Amino acid sequence: MVLNFRNPGTLLYALIILALVIIVAVYFRVKKVKDRSGIKAANTKRLRSLGIFKKKYIEGIILKVVFFIGLGVALLSAVLLFARPYKSIPDKDEFNGRDIMLCIDISASNHSGIADLTDEFIKTVEGLDGDRVGISIFNTSSVLYLPVTDDYEFAVKKLKALSEYFKAEEEFQKNYADKYEYAYEVPESEKKRYDELNRILSSFDQGTTAGYEIKGTSCVGEGLASALFSFPDLMTEKRTRTLILVTDNEPEYIGEELVSLADTCQMCVADEVNVFGIYPGTDIKKYTDSAQRKQEFQKAITEAKGKFYVKDAELTAERILNDIEAQAVKKTEIAVATKTVDEPKSWFIVLVISLSFTFLVVIISLIETGFLTFTKKKLYQKIISIITAVLIIASTVMIGIRPMIVDQNQEVRTNNLDVCLIIDTTISMWAEDYNQGPRMDAVKKDVETIINALPGSSFALVNFDNSAQLLMPYTQDINGIRDAVDDLSMPNYNTAQGSSVNKIMDEIKTLSEVSDNKKGTRRTIYFIFSDGETTDGTELGAFEKLERNVDGGAVIGYGSTTGGKMNYPGKGYVKDTSKGTSARSKIDEDNLQMLAKKLGIPYVHSGKIGYNNEIFSEIDVIKALSRDAAIEDGDTSGMIETYYYFAGILAVILMAWVVRNIYKGGLS
């Protein structure tokens, strides 16, 4: 039973008034009883001695007691409901407190059977429910291949690509690296496959071998440390974190290592991160100390109180998943606040039960008297009785319905939104017609504004130039989104293939499907940042087919009609070869407006000084959309209660009824 009230002062005054009114009613009742001036009946003693009289007299007393108790409790319940009982509950994001980071060594020595192990990881991810997963890969340097996310479909997609890489690495080592010392030794008949494998491997190796001629390769300690610090909010948020390191532990440093594997494992202990180690072994003959390396690896993991596995037939996804789930889930403390919500349910139940007894007694009394107590009333008294009964019932029903209105001033925490940021990164977006700076500066400011205006949302990041790329899947790692936006850079001038927003169609469709597959009532929002230029000769695609996948957002335009020059780093301003002067990029607002129309979202221009009032109004629309979705999902925190007004009306009516019946001395 809730005993906290929003209006305790109102409750106090109501109870005082109620007590005074009852005292006055009792006073007049007592005074009326003392008045014996009425006509007296003779020979009632014999009547009172009859059994039927005694029975009916006792029944009358019982009915009167039940009536007054029911009416009194109903009146008290109505007064308490008018005072608005409430409870305090924690307001926090709904997610499990577990993050899992796969840290995988992709050096040449660590290739044997890793593809099969990666396939087991795919099964592990498919068995997760609510946890977040990320992937870090390393050799000389580390790459955050997948930021932590609960987008399992995307995680599986990335793992499959990684599995293909290891299959290519295994084939390359077996058919080429072990046979030929130099590329020119590869026979012409095998050259095509050799080049294909090199292309597959280079797509991963280019990012992870930076500086190998200075540092060496297989920097295991650094790779693990980088993965550790890739956990979002590592120092501020208490979550259960598990780091799974896959390596043959065969570092080939040039000089001293920056941090050792053992030291990094102890760093994991200090940061309360569970560390698992998987040793796949190596079939490269030059590593004669592999047994010692395995022992060092196992010792480092064991001293960190972690799990150590050797890749064999018994190392299955089910075993890894069971060990992950055995880690106690910590209660997250981030984004937690206390909110108060009305809790009228308990007192409403008491009200309904007490009123039911009260009306039951009234009905029994009417039946016992053959409805004489009602039919003998004057017309106006009958009308008042009927109106009173109707008002009591109607007020009770309205309390039960609990009507609410939207609180327009309530701050909305948009936990139910998936917000996709799609950024045009073609060369023209670096045209300098934004406060004498590049348009991309305006984009970054606008992105920051959106992130700050939609707290609690999951964000994804897509960029498009030669093609569209999903840089970040839906995640609540806001700092990761910010870092990814800050790292956006101008594409290679020599390989640029022209601009077209058509390249984002597939990504919108894919991300919409991901959002739709999530539990609960969610809305998918798209912000598209572009200057609208189309220089590849294509016409705007059939974006209207995607409108049903878009719940809100905006197309935001950048640039001016006079245009701006584009400064390519190291080469100066981009030239218009047909004129021999600096090329100027101009905004194509017609194209952007058409795109917005097809997607069913508004078009706005960013303006010369960043975000303007027009886009803030669109954010207000999105917040309202989020509120509606929350209400649809049963969240009433953004609503204003009105039930207590009906409770106040009911309390007044019941108070009048109590006073009347006390004065009358029975059921009236």
Nearest-5° angle of CA 344, CA 637, CA 651? 25
Question: Among 268-272, 451-455, 509-513, which stretch is predicted with the lowest mean pLDDT?
Answer: 509-513
For residue 666, is pLDDT > 70? no
Separation CA 340–CA 91 (nearest Å):
9
Mean pLDDT of 347-368: 90
- Tell me, what's the pLDDT at 623? 82
Contacts of 191 (CB under 8 A, 6+ apart): none
**In 3D, which of 664, 515, 662 has the Cα closest to residue 18?**
662
| Other C-beta atoms lying within 10 Å of the C-beta of residue 235 | 7
Q: Read off the pLDDT band of 391 (50, 70, 90).
A: very high
Mean pLDDT of 464-486: 82
Residue 524 exposed, middle or buried by CB count within 10 Å (0-12, 13-18, 19+): buried
Helices (H) and strands (E) in the chain, counts: 20, 25
For residue 325, is pLDDT > 50? yes
- Tell me, what's the pLDDT at 502? 78
Separation CA 529–CA 535 (nearest Å):
17
| Other C-beta atoms lying within 10 Å of the C-beta of residue 605 | 17
3-state secondary structure of 555: strand
Separation CA 412–CA 456 (nearest Å):
9
pLDDT digits (tens, 9 = 90+) for 106-142: 887 777 778 888 888 888 888 877 788 899 999 998 8
Contacts of 46 (CB under 8 A, 6+ apart): none
| Other C-beta atoms lying within 10 Å of the C-beta of residue 402 | 17
For residue 221, is pLDDT > 90? yes
What is the token pair recorded at 104?
């995988």
Per-position b or e across 238-265, b if 16+ CB within 10 A of its CB? ebbbbbbbbbbbbbebeeebebbbbebb
For residue 73, is pLDDT > 80? yes
- Tell me, what's the pLDDT at 262? 94
Question: Among 146-160, 279-293, 612-626, which stretch is predicted with the lowest mean pLDDT?
Answer: 279-293
Q: Which residue has the tokens 């009911």?
A: 650
Separation CA 483–CA 131 (nearest Å):
23
- Tell me, what's the pLDDT at 527? 94
Contacts of 663 (CB under 8 A, 6+ apart): 25, 28, 29, 32
Contacts of 582 (CB under 8 A, 6+ apart): 565, 573, 574, 575, 576
For residue 333, is pLDDT > 50? no
Contact 504, 491 (CB under 8 A): no
Q: Read off the pLDDT band of 189 (50, 70, 90).
A: confident
Q: Read off the pLDDT band of 611 (50, 70, 90).
A: very low
Whole-prediction pTM? 0.62
Q: Read off the pLDDT band of 498 (50, 70, 90).
A: low
Contact 137, 204 (CB under 8 A): yes
What is the token pair recorded at 92?
């926090």
Q: Report the percent of the chain where pLDDT is more than 90.
A: 20
Residue 110 or 392, more confident: 392
- Tell me, what's the pLDDT at 637? 63
Residue 97 or 166, more confident: 166
- Tell me, what's the pLDDT at 273? 93
Contact 591, 598 (CB under 8 A): no
Mean pLDDT of 484-507: 75
Q: Read off the pLDDT band of 520 (50, 70, 90).
A: low
For residue 557, is pLDDT > 70? yes
**Mean pLDDT (the chain, rounded):** 81
Q: Where are the beta strands (DSSP E) in 516-621?
A: 523-530, 552-557, 564-565, 567-568, 572-573, 575-576, 581-582, 584-585, 603-605
Q: Phi/psi zone of residue 440: left (φ > 0), alpha (ψ -120 to 50 degrees), beta?
A: alpha
Separation CA 474–CA 490 (nearest Å):
24
> 223: number of CA atoms within 13 Å, CB side?
33
Side chain identity at residue 462, one-letter code = V
For residue 336, is pLDDT > 50? no
Separation CA 98–CA 329 (nearest Å):
6
Mean pLDDT of 342-368: 89
- Tell me, what's the pLDDT at 609? 45
Q: Read off the pLDDT band of 532 (50, 70, 90).
A: confident
For residue 544, is pLDDT > 90? no
Helix H segments across 315-438? 317-325, 345-368, 372-375, 379-401
For residue 381, is pLDDT > 90? no
Mean pLDDT of 537-554: 83
Question: Among 106-115, 249-258, 428-437, which stretch is predicted with the lowest mean pLDDT?
Answer: 106-115
Mean pLDDT of 288-294: 77
Bridge-based pairing state of the strands 98-105 and 132-138: parallel
Side chain identity at residue 96, one-letter code = N
Residue 131 or 25, more confident: 131
Mean pLDDT of 6-31: 78
Mean pLDDT of 217-223: 91
Question: Among 78-87, 280-289, 354-363, 547-556, which stretch is predicted with the lowest mean pLDDT?
Answer: 280-289
Q: Read off the pLDDT band of 329 (50, 70, 90).
A: low
For residue 288, is pLDDT > 60? no
